Structure 1
Amino acid sequence: MLDIVIEARQAAIGPGMQVRRILPFRLRRMVGPFIFMDHAGPVAIQPQAAHDMDVLPHPHIGLSTVSYLFGGQVTHRDSLGVEQIIRPGEVNWMTAGRGIAHSERFEEPAALAGGTLEMIQTWVALPEKEEEAMPSFTNYTADQLPIFTETGVWMRLIAGDAFGLRNGVKTHSPMFYLHVVLEQGARFGLPKEHAERAIYVAKGSIEVAGRTYTVGQMLVFTRGIDPMLVAKEPATLMLLGGEPLGERFIWWNFVSSRKERIEQAKADWKEGRILLPPSDNQEFVPLPEDHSRPAGSPPPQALS
């Protein structure tokens, strides 16, 4: 059966960037190892306002950030010294582990003016034994990510394994992550080999068990249920899930199985012990000071 339908909420990650926030949700914090999901764009602004959209250097611990674009391009810089432009169909996979800082800047005027910039950002929590791993970053090009097609269906495996597909993206726990495009009337199911599974409707609409679901909705399914979905119109979907990792705490950009580790990360960022990107170190996002939120409720996260 359908476990829950999550309605995306509007969130601001900077003066010029509004996103749809899907995870975490108060009634469903995670799906498999996925603990965070934002959908940004399509964005159309004047090129001179691009700096307002930039995500300044900010820290992470205990997770991997996964960046995937439908259109446009973004420049990533991190404290390892990596500078990488990500383009549609590629994956930027950054494992924060014990701590890393990075920025994401929108430096392609044509993509902004043309309204083509659109991206999905997810965070994948790390298993406890990997939470203090050395930070790392890898860009996977589109030709490294297998594509499957059949009548009315196109899909790319972003990470993990599903429907017999695998790729070389390094993951830390059993999971799957797919970009699926359906023509009107096409029928599609979910991979059966994973305990927790969800569908996010990025474009168009689908029907499941006689009900229609549209842009900004995530459908999460109970284990053992194998739904059949039908595209009511051309639709773009993100399918994701995997094995649950157990309880995780999240505060701002920090994820951990231990509350005290998050407190340490706060102090580390405030005291400058998490290094800034060497090629982008003139400004950064300060540690939030928000005393108005209820206990246990995280402040707004940065976009990965």
Structure 2
Amino acid sequence: MLDIVIEARKASIGPGMDVRRILPFRLKRMVGPFIFMDHAGPVAVQPKTSDSMDVLPHPHIGLSTVSYLFGGQVTHRDSLGVEQVIRPGEVNWMTAGSGIAHSERFEDPSALAGGKLEMIQTWVALPEKDEEAAPAFNNYKPEQLPIYTDTGVWMRLIAGDAYGLMNHVKTHSPLFYLHAILDKDARFGLPKEHAERGIYIANGSIEVGGRTYTSGQMLVFSKGVDPKILAKEKTTLMLLGGEPLGERFIWWNFVSSRKERIEQAKADWKEGRILLPPTDNLEFTPLPEDRSRPAGDPPPQALS
């Protein structure tokens, strides 16, 4: 049975950069360990305005960020000294753990020309035992990620395990994350072994249970349900889920199982105790004003 349909909401993370925000959602905060999901683009801007889209150095705790591009490129820099140009089809997995700061810069105008830039950003909450792990960043090339093909179906395993596929992307809890492309009239099913499973329609449309769902919607299913998916046209899907981790609190770019840890992270960023990237330390994103908000409603997040 279909648990819920989540409609992406428009969110702005800076001038010229609007995104479709899928998670968190007030009626479904997480899908497995996935606590945040943004879909940016396709973005078409003139090169002279590309720097206004940059995501300045900002902090994270208690999570892993996962950057996956369909097109364009982004330069990542973090407080570990890592500088990585992120390109389509790669997996860029940054574990914040006890605290990290990073930036994302759109430094190649040609990568923005013609609406090429399009990316998915997710956050994966860490198990309690790993929330204070040492920060780390890993880049995995497309050739390190297994691909499966069948009649009308192409898919790449980003992380975890599903459909008998596995890779060496380091994760901290049981999960799956895939990029799938279906031709018109292709039929498809979700992996059955995970407790929570979601289908995000990045582009195109599918039919499930006699109803049609379109771009910008996420369908969430619990374990034991075996939905039959029919592509109504050429369609791009992001499939994700896994085992729930329990309650998590989220405020701005901070995630934790403990409210007091988020308060500490706020103070650490305000007082400069989370270091800036050594090659991108001349500006940063200040801590947002902590205005009164409905319970569980975080202020706008950075892209990742």
Give the TM-score of the pair, scaled to structure 2. Answer: 0.99
Counterpart residue number, 1:114: 114
Counterpart residue number, 2:23: 23
Counterpart residue number, 2:77: 77
Q: Which amino acid aligns with 1:118?
A: E
Cα shift at 1:114: 1.9
Alignment of 1:1-304 (within 5 A): 1-304=1-304
Q: Which amino acid aligns with 1:234?
A: K
Identity over aligned residues, as a percent?
83
Quick one: distance in 2 between partners of 1:191 and 1:84? Answer: 32
Cα shift at 1:108: 1.3
Query: 2:193·2:223 contact (CA, 8 Å) conserved in 1?
Result: no
Per-residue Cα deviation, 1:30-77 (whole angstroms, up to 9, x for no partner): 000000000000000000101111000000000000000000000000
Q: Which amino acid aligns with 1:137?
A: F
Q: Which amino acid aligns with 2:154?
A: W
Cα shift at 1:262: 0.2
Quick one: distance in 2 between partners of 1:297 and 1:233? Answer: 36
User: Gaps spanning 5+ residues in structure 2: where?
Assistant: none
Cα shift at 1:261: 0.2
Cα shift at 1:9: 0.1
Quick one: distance in 2 between partners of 1:218 and 1:150? Answer: 24
Cα shift at 1:294: 2.6
Runs of 4+ in 1 over 4 A off after TM superposition: none
Per-residue Cα deviation, 1:199-244 (whole angstroms, up to 9, x for no partner): 0000000000000000000000122101010000000000000000
Quick one: distance in 1 between partners of 2:21 and 2:252? Answer: 14
3-state secondary structure, aligned to 2:188: strand
3-state secondary structure, aligned to 1:269: helix
Quick one: distance in 1 between partners of 2:31 and 2:79? Answer: 29
Q: Which amino acid aligns with 2:188?
A: F
Quick one: distance in 2 between partners of 1:188 and 1:237? Answer: 11
Q: How many residues align?
A: 304
Per-residue Cα deviation, 1:139-176 (whole angstroms, up to 9, x for no partner): 00000000000110000000000000000000000000
Q: Which amino acid aligns with 1:83?
A: E
Query: 2:161·2:167 contact (CA, 8 Å) conserved in 1?
Result: yes
Quick one: distance in 2 between partners of 1:61 and 1:71? Answer: 28
Cα shift at 1:295: 4.0
Cα shift at 1:297: 1.7
Cα shift at 1:293: 2.7
Give the TM-score of the pair, scaled to structure 1. Answer: 0.99
- The RMSD of aligned alpha carbons is 0.7
Query: 2:148·2:155 contact (CA, 8 Å) conserved in 1?
Result: yes
Query: 2:70·2:117 contact (CA, 8 Å) conserved in 1?
Result: yes
User: Gaps spanning 5+ residues in structure 1: where?
Assistant: none
Query: 2:251·2:298 contact (CA, 8 Å) conserved in 1?
Result: yes
Per-residue Cα deviation, 1:117-156 (whole angstroms, up to 9, x for no partner): 0000000000000000000000000000000001100000
Cα shift at 1:296: 3.4
3-state secondary structure, aligned to 1:114: helix
Q: Which amino acid aligns with 1:3?
A: D
Q: Which amino acid aligns with 1:250?
A: I
